[in-house]
Amino acid sequence: MSVDEALRQLLALARATPFTAVEPVALRQADGRVLAEDLLATIDLPPWANSAMDGYALRLDDLPGQPLPVSQAVFAGQAPGPLQARTCARVFTGAPVPDGTDCVQLQENCVLDAQGRVSSLTPLRRGDNVRPQGNEIRADAPLLAAGTVLNPISLGVLASQGISQVPVLRRPRVALLSSGDELAGEGAVLGPGQIFDSNRVVLATLLERLGCDVIDLGCVPDDPLRLRTALVEAEGAELIISSAGVSVGDADCIGALLREGGEVKLWKLAIKPGKPFTFGHVGAVPLLGLPGNPGSALVTFLLTARPYLLARMGVVQVEPVRVPVVAGFAWPKAGKRQEYLRVRLDGGRARLLENQSSATLLSAVQGDGLLEVPAGETFEAGDVLDFIAFAGVGVY
Amino acid sequence: MSVDEALRQLLALARATPFTAVEPVALRQADGRVLAEDLLATIDLPPWANSAMDGYALRLDDLPGQPLPVSQAVFAGQAPGPLQARTCARVFTGAPVPDGTDCVQLQENCVLDAQGRVSSLTPLRRGDNVRPQGNEIRADAPLLAAGTVLNPISLGVLASQGISQVPVLRRPRVALLSSGDELAGEGAVLGPGQIFDSNRVVLATLLERLGCDVIDLGCVPDDPLRLRTALVEAEGAELIISSAGVSVGDADCIGALLREGGEVKLWKLAIKPGKPFTFGHVGAVPLLGLPGNPGSALVTFLLTARPYLLARMGVVQVEPVRVPVVAGFAWPKAGKRQEYLRVRLDGGRARLLENQSSATLLSAVQGDGLLEVPAGETFEAGDVLDFIAFAGVGVY
């Protein structure tokens, strides 16, 4: 099954079961959370007309004739009185301009006479050097849409509106397990034929960066009873993510459990690194089964599980952003599966990292992202391909 | 002063005063932290030679002549015995191969006779379909260097080595204040001539994403006494970051305090949005003074304060990664300052966002990053410029 088709089905499943629980959170705790409601602007920004420059605020009708005396000086943070007839006001950048102001003349375009009266040296038009009230945004205009993942900049926009608390999606509870007789957990001593599990820490931190609460079920051997015992702790989870080891029984043990929960999708994804992918239910809780090799688990998570989760969270942009990047190497042999090459950007060109084995994370750790090679395609050095930056999918 | 020259001086100051306090942290709590020591591999990966495919492990010398009986079957997670003379072993992907194995023949290239004995149909060479022990990395080889910012992938690499705790830099304590009579803090009612402060939430979340502990000193009016009172809370801080409002007294009040601490650098940076930038000391604590306009504070932080902090943290890659991007618009009028345009990528081309005012964050919130326009330069639609992705500098 193509990655696109699998994603289409997964996103349909996700959109049919959106997370809905909402909680209010203070702005300073809201970084990375998903906005649960459309927010409107509460005030005009700027809240009052203000001067874009240091200079003199005046009325156009007062300009012909005598120089204008300065009737007040307005600094930022002050509230001016109305502009008196046939006078001007000294204003500084960001300061409110007095009511009745038509425009601001820059101080360098003025001369002052002996009495400190101001003459303008250059022609002016209404509105010059004045930022009108509500110029950036009007009260009640759309500010941020539900589904926005809050970040430092959007939090700043909310703060500038005096909004100090926002309704966000409650953190989804995601249970996580690694399955396979060959896996040793953190702190264990490596037995014969064993390897240390790395998938849980990779997936747990990726999930936390997506705003999830992670329930770590640990490493579970290929034993139906041990699997059931582990899943008792998943009580309250809204999603289970497993990565199966490479031993023969791994996928079967989870598959058998899922078959009790109804229909099980066992896909052979046309993705490299990757391939086996499982979707089913444990009781009422959806389970995504990722492949066990660390490179495969990482790529499959980023390409399928992450969009699925974001879609359930109501986020609009769920798929990784692709940018065009020039390949610094040739790919003469077409593959049968869509391939995600771990690459580093050198001067903007993608350089292939040495070890592309699905079993290793070592090349990914030196990489800037994934170069997407469609199934059946080859390319020359200098060709442009789609690139998925790790930084754009929560790895930086 | 050019941005490059300011950065050169700031980085020299940073490298002369590196943060040095180190603490051990469990892997699951180490996301985003900076590794404080070079780490070596503790074990070979893979820890034992293993089969790359499902098939039969055998000795090349045993191939000519009679079919080989299967003397053992090895699944992943099991420890095989040595390969008995003139036999082969059934092996599965990822399973250890028995001592004495020369290569693995794929199951699809074998035939089994009535007694279950195996004949190989295609020629084989030593090492075929075997991943040797230590193929990815050898024990004692360099694993991750001091200064690495740990992320989900590098944490996975550490987990695969059985490393469950790492020495990381203690979180730098950074005090943060916004200065200006016109600023109202969160939860305040907006007075005449006032605006809500947005810089602190933007800078605080950016600092936390860099692994800092933030001491929020709040909004401080242009009053030397109030400023001193606020800074008492900065006790223990290793850096103070202020953003000054746009009112005339803002920078002076901080400047006066800094002059007591010795030399003060007051730079007019050739950067847009931006310009005023202050560096000095309060007692022994360095203070970075950013401009007050939200767009200016954001860009100046990303281009100067962030690299300065990362350099003090011993991170190697401190400057934003630039990637070449095609401009989807023309820029006919050269500016005097290096300009950072807030742009959105549409199909890989940079589209200029509507409001480039230094006073607003609203365009940045819709943006994917900054297009860097050197001072004095113009460009045409279709020209290639350097682009700094927000996602690459901790905003995503």
Task: Give B250's pLDDT tier (boundaries 50, 70, 90).
Answer: low
The interface residues of chain B toward chain A in range 166-185, judged by CB-CB distance below 8 A, are 180-184
pLDDT, mean of residues A54-83: 92
CA angle A345, B374, B199 (to 5 degrees): 85
Residues B202 and B253 placed together within one structural domain of the fold: yes
Judge whether A233 is closer than 8 Å to chain B, CB to CB: no
Put simply, whether A153 touches B (Cβ < 8 Å) is yes
Is residue B300 exposed (0-12), middle (13-18) or buried (19+ Cβ within 10 Å)? buried
Mean pLDDT throughout B25-54? 95
Q: State whether A154 and B365 contact (CB < 8 Å).
A: yes
Q: Which residues of B touch A136 (CB under 8 A)?
A: 355, 357, 359-360, 362
- For chain A, say whether B363 makes contact (Cβ under 8 Å): no
Contacts of A216 in chain B (CB under 8 A): 28
> Of the residues B106, B131, B156, which one is the last residue of a structural domain?
B131
Closest Cβ opposite residue A323 in set B199, B292, B348: B348
Compute chain B's Rg from CA coordinates: 30
**B181 lies in the same domain as B201:** yes
Q: Which residue of A has its CA nearest to B322?
A: A348
Closest CA to A371 of A332, A347, A341: A341
Kindly list the residues from chain B whose CB atom is less than 8 angstroms away from the CB atom of residue A159.
186, 196-198, 200-202
Q: Are residues B304 and B208 in the same domain?
A: yes
> Which percentage of chain B shows pLDDT scores above 90?
77
CA distance B121 to B109: 5
Do β-strands B349-352 and B322-327 pair in parallel, antiparallel, or remain unpaired?
parallel
**ipTM associated with this complex:** 0.92
B206 and B276 in a single domain? The answer is yes
Predicted local confidence at residue A246, as pLDDT: 63
Q: From CA A201, how far away is CA A18, in angstroms rounded?
A: 26
Residues of B (333-362) whose Cβ lies below 8 Å from A:
345, 348, 355, 357, 359-362
Asked if A369 contacts A391 with a C-beta cutoff of 8 angstroms, the reply is: yes
Kindly report the CATH number assigned to the domain that includes residue A254.
Answer: 3.40.980.10
Residue B360: the pLDDT is 87
Average pLDDT, chain A: 93
pLDDT at residue A175 above 80? Answer: yes
CB contacts under 8 A, A 17-36 vs B, are 27-28, 31
User: Does position A381 have pLDDT exceeding 70, yes or no?
Assistant: yes
**Residue B248 reports pLDDT greater than 70:** no
Question: Of A4-18, A97-111, A238-252, which gets the smallest average pLDDT?
Answer: A238-252
Cα of B182 to nearest chain A Cα, Å: 3
Tell me, yes or no, whether B91 and B125 share the same domain.
yes
Q: Is the pLDDT of residue A206 over 80?
A: yes
Contact A162 B357 (CB under 8 A): no
Weakest-pLDDT range from A11-15, A184-188, B161-165, B349-353: A184-188
Distances (CA, A) of A30 to A167, B192, B213, B325: 9, 29, 16, 32
Q: Which residues of B touch A290 (CB under 8 A)?
A: none
Structural domain includes residue A142? no
Amino acid B371: pLDDT: 97
* Cβ-nearest to B94 among A95, A96, A182: A182
Q: Are residues B290 and B360 in the same domain?
A: no
Interface of B with A in 40-69 (CB under 8 A): 43, 45-48
Contact B190 A160 (CB under 8 A): no
User: Can you tell me the mean pLDDT for B139-162?
Assistant: 96
User: Cβ of B323 and A321 within 8 Å?
Assistant: no
Stretch B370-389: mean pLDDT? 96
Are A226 and A177 in contact by the 8 Å Cβ rule? The answer is no
CA distances from B229 to B217, B224, B274, B287 (A): 10, 9, 28, 16
Contact call for B94 and A201, based on CB within 8 A: no
**Domain presence at residue A94:** yes
- Here the tokens at position A183 are 């896996």
**Over pLDDT 70: what percentage of chain B?**
98
Query: Residue A369 pLDDT > 90, yes or no?
Result: yes
Q: How many CA atoms lie within 13 A of A389 on its CB side?
A: 22
Boundary (domain end) residue, out of A251, A277, A312:
A312
DSSP assignment string, B136-197: SB-TTSEEE-TTPBP-HHHHHHHHHTT--EEEEEPPPEEEEEEE-TTEE-TTPPP-TT-EE-
- Please say whether the beta carbons of B275 and B339 come within 8 A: no
Q: Residue length, chain A?
A: 396
Helix (H, G, I), strand (E, B) or coil at B333: coil
∠ CA B7-B10-B15, nearest 5°, is: 120
Contacts of B249 in chain A (CB under 8 A): 75
Same domain, A295 and A332: no
Query: B64 to chain A, minimum CA–CA distance in Å?
Result: 30
User: Among all chains, which residue has been given the structure tokens 């970040």?
Assistant: A151
- Which of B74, B129, B182, B205 should one mutate to test binding to chain A, selecting the residue with the greatest count of A CBs within 10 A? B205
B208 shares its domain with B289: yes
The number of distinct structural domains making up chain B is 4
C-alpha gyration radius of chain A? 30
Q: Name the amino acid, one letter, at B190.
A: L
Per CB-CB distance under 8 Å, the chain A contacts of B392 are 389, 391, 396
**How many residue pairs from chains A and B have C-beta atoms closer than 8 A?**
289
pTM for the whole thing?
Answer: 0.93
Task: Examine the domain organization and report whether A181 and A296 are in the same domain.
Answer: yes
Is the Cβ of B232 closer than 8 Å to some Cβ of chain A?
no
Chain A's closest residue to B205, CA to CA, is: A152
User: In terms of residue numbers, what domain contains B157?
Assistant: 22-44+145-169
The Cα angle at residue A317 between residues B357 and B331, in degrees rounded to 5: 35
Of residues A308 and B65, more confidently modeled: A308
Query: Least CB-CB distance to B202: which of A152, A183, A360?
Result: A152
**Is A225 near chain B, with CB under 8 Å?**
no
Residue B138, in any domain of the structure:
no
**B96 and B194 share one domain:** no
Three-class DSSP labels, chain A: CCHHHHHHHHHHHHHHCCCCCEEEEEHHHCCCCEECCCEECCCCECCCCEECCCEEEECHHHCCCCCECEEEEECCCCCCCCCCCCCEEEECCCCECCCCCCEEEEHHHEEECCCCCEEECCCCCCCCCEECCCCCECCCCEEECCCCECCHHHHHHHHHCCCCEEEEECCCEEEEEEECCCEECCCCCCCCCCEECCHHHHHHHHHHHCCCEEEEEEEECCCHHHHHHHHHCCCCCCEEEEEECCCCCHHHHHHHHHHHCCCCEEEECCEECCCEEEEEEECCEEEEEECCCHHHHHHHHHHHHHHHHHHHCCCCCCCCCEEEEEECCCECCCCCCEEEEEEEEECCEEEECCCCCCCCCHHHHCCCEEEEECCCCCECCCCEEEEEEHHHHCCC
Distance CA B174, CA B236 (A): 9
Residue A213: half-sphere exposure toward Cβ, Cα within 13 Å:
9
Rounded percentage of chain A residues whose pLDDT exceeds 90: 78
Residue B121 burial (10 A CB sphere; 0-12, 13-18, 19+): exposed
Look at residue B153 and tell me if it is in a domain: yes
Q: Note whether residue A139 is domain-resident.
A: no
**Residue A340, φ and ψ in degrees, nearest 5:** -115, 100
Residues with Cβ within 8 Å of residue A169, at least 6 apart in sequence: A19, A21, A22, A23, A33, A34, A36, A211, A313, A314
- pLDDT higher at A343 or B191: A343
Q: Among residues A312, A346, A381, which one ends one of the domains?
A: A312
Q: In Å, how far is A65's CA from the nearest CA of chain B?
A: 31
Together in a domain, B149 and B270: no
Record: contact B298-A156, CB cut-off 8 A:
yes
Shortest CA distance from A347: residue in chain B: B323
Least CB-CB distance to B395: which of A48, A152, A195?
A: A152
In a domain, B140, yes or no: no
The residue of A163, A164, A201 whose CB has the most chain B CBs within 10 angstroms, and thus the best one to mutate to test that interface, is: A201
Residues 105-124 of B with CB under 8 A from A: none
Q: Band of the pLDDT at B312, cuts 50, 70, 90? A: very high
Q: State whether residue B160 sits within 8 Å of chain A by CB.
A: yes
What's at A188, amino acid-wise?
A
Write out the two tokens for B36.
């404080």
Give the pLDDT of residue B249: 60
Q: Which residues on chain B are in Cβ contact (under 8 Å) with A348?
A: 322-324
Shortest Cα–Cα distance, A224 to chain B (Å): 17
pLDDT the model gives residue A65: 84
Which residues of B, range 251-290, sit inside 8 Å of A by Cβ?
none
Is the CB of B186 inside 8 Å of chain A's CB atoms? yes
pLDDT tens profile B197-237: 999 999 999 999 999 999 999 999 888 899 999 998 898 99
What's the CATH code of the domain at A88? Answer: 2.170.190.11
Is-contact A386 A322, C-beta < 8 A?
A: yes
- Tell if the CB–CB gap between B96 and A192 is shorter than 8 Å: yes
Taking the CA of residue A96 as centre, how many other CA atoms within 13 Å lie in the half-sphere pointing to its CB? 23
The CATH number linked to B37 is 3.90.105.10
| Residues B93, B51: Cα–Cα separation, whole Å | 5
User: Which pLDDT value is given to residue A128?
Assistant: 97
Among B158, B247, B392, the residue with its CB nearest the CB of A396 is B392
Each residue's pLDDT tens digit, A139-152 = 999 999 999 999 99
**Pairing mode, strands A384-389 and A322-327:** antiparallel
**HSE value, Cβ hemisphere, 13 Å, CA-based, for B191:** 10
CA B203, B204, B206, B211 dihedral sign is positive
Interchain pair B151, A181: CB under 8 A: no
State the pairing for strand pair A213-220/A173-179. parallel
Residue A349's DSSP bridge partners are: A326, A346
Q: Which residue has the higher pLDDT, A217 or A193?
A: A217
A294 and A330 in a single domain? The answer is no
Of the partner residues B193, B294, B345, the one whose CB lies closest to the CB of residue A156 = B294
Predicted confidence (pLDDT) at residue A264 exceeds the cutoff of 90: no
Alpha-carbon distance A155 to B199, whole Å?
Answer: 10
Contacts of A70 (CB under 8 A, 6+ apart): A56, A87, A88, A89, A90, A116, A117, A118
Minimal C-alpha gap between A97 and chain B (Å): 10
Examine residue A143 and state whether it is found in any structural domain, yes or no.
Answer: no
Report pLDDT for A268: 87
B139 part of a folded domain? no
